[in-house]
Amino acid sequence: MNLEGNTSERVGILGNIHSFESFGTVDGPGIRCVVFMQGCPMRCQFCHNPDTWDPAARGQYQMTPQELLEEVLRYKSFIKKGGVTVSGGEPLMQADFVLEFFKLCRKAGIHTALDTSGVIFSDKAKAVLEYTDLVLLDIKTIDEAAHRAYTGHDARNNRLFLNYLQSIGKPVWMRHVVVPERTYDDSQLKRLGEFLKGFSVIEKVELLAYHTLGRYKWQNLGLDYPLEGIPELSADQISHARAILSEYGF
């Protein structure tokens, strides 16, 4: 994938793209092209991609929506039962680019998924959702008091985002990272299930086991790893967490 080119000759918005995965299988239904956008306002303690945080950092690719579509179309035969997922970072930091790209995807008959924290809830975000087929919405913690400590932001926009998705009938897959000593807690998981069961647009809830594979990225950036010493979530623990959520229909 080599799309640097001469930016002065391009027409359209340039997206700052951190990286690109051609055959993703864990970010939405089917086989998908996954686009990771550069930039994120959150500072989650369990983030495994802190290298995507800085919106001013130059990603691997600077592309127009049309150029990205042309790249995706190279894999159309493989993703015909899947689609494209735009992730991050936080993709809604580049909402104008995502909107134009999703419009092109719709014209091309490509299923689109938006992987977001919901931290940005704005008119531009709503415009992107008009052309989004599925939202993968992260919920970092159900504990309002802990949310800012864990992420650097309160949970208000995340809740507003989910309420809006319910109001427009947009299909949602919820995602929740389960972290020992943080969110691996029976009472929190039950509160999460109780909260989420009130939203009919939620098709599934994905509980993701905390791992330390991204710790080296923190070290490479000269950052202290905030979860140093906390073990990865075990298979038994994630099974237990999923059993709790299953009691609420997920």
pLDDT in tens, 143-160: 988 999 999 999 999 999
Q: E strands, 55-171, where?
A: 61-63, 83-87, 112-116, 134-138
First CA to last CA distance, the chain? 38
**Average pLDDT for 79-93:** 96
Specify whether the CB–CB gap between 136 and 107 falls below 8 A: no
Residue 125, Cβ density class (10 Å: 0-12 exposed, 13-18 middle, ≥19 buried): buried
Asked whether the bond before 59 is cis by omega within 30 degrees of 0, the reply is no
pLDDT at 167: 98
Q: Per this entry, what is the length of the chain?
A: 250
pLDDT tens for 172-224 read 999 999 999 999 999 999 999 999 999 999 999 999 999 998 899 999 999 99
